[in-house]
Amino acid sequence: MNDPIAPNRRQFVMGTLALAGGLLVARQGLAGTANPQPAQAAGPISLHGVSPRLTIHILDTYSGSAATGLQVEFSRMEQDRPVLLQTLVINQNGRTEAPLLIDDSYQAGNYQLLLHIDDYFRMKGARLPSPTFLSKVPIRFAINDTAERLHLPVQFGPWNYGYYRGS
């Protein structure tokens, strides 16, 4: 009977399988004994004397730059309706000139950012289908603990947006 696998190749294959199996067992053993730790502390971020605040950072992923000139309406939600607190324009760094909320204005509650994405891309002269896919994009979030600093990074393009809780 002819063996399709040469003896030297068979030794190599068997050795590789044994080595891979040993590594897998060792990894599983380590995983079972390790105590996974979060990459960041779960508690509030302390800035050594800096008061808690709400800040944002908004990036245009379509052009790969800060969303300079983007108009944002910042509201507090009351009975599921936005009550306008201020209208902002994003600066050349993708931020606002001052925190949205700080000191006494930094209160627990539900809030909304309304991004004027259609106006932004029209202002930039982007060649997009009309009407645009996204127009005014609401981002709703909550401040639950006024001892914590809250940073809200936002990324958007003509067809998508995403945001997350930063610190």
pLDDT of amino acid 84: 98
Give the per-residue pLDDT at 130.
87
- Indicate which CATH number applies to the domain containing 129: 2.60.40.180
Taking the chain (167 residues) in runs of 10, the rounded mean pLDDT of each run is: 61 61 56 54 51 95 97 97 98 96 95 97 93 95 93 97 92
Q: Is residue 20 part of a domain?
A: no
Range of the structural domain that residue 83 is part of:
53-163
pLDDT at 43: 46
Q: What is the pLDDT of residue 5?
A: 59
Residue 7 lies in a domain: no
14 in a domain, yes or no?
no
Which amino acid, one-letter code, is at 150?
Answer: L
Domain count, the chain: 1
pLDDT confidence of residue 49: 61
pTM: predicted TM-score of the whole model, two decimal places? 0.70
**Those residues with Cβ within 8 angstroms of residue 163's Cβ, 6 or more apart along the chain or in another chain:** 139, 141, 152, 153, 154, 155
Own/partner pairs for 119-127, CB < 8 Å, 24+ apart? Answer: 119/71, 120/60, 120/67, 120/69, 120/70, 120/71, 121/62, 121/158, 123/69, 124/63, 124/69, 126/62, 126/63, 126/158
pLDDT at 46: 47
What is residue 28's predicted lDDT score, i.e. its pLDDT?
A: 57
Please report whether residue 159 resides in a domain.
yes
Residue 26 lies in a domain: no
> Is residue 46 a part of any domain in this protein?
no
Question: What pLDDT is recorded for position 51?
Answer: 82
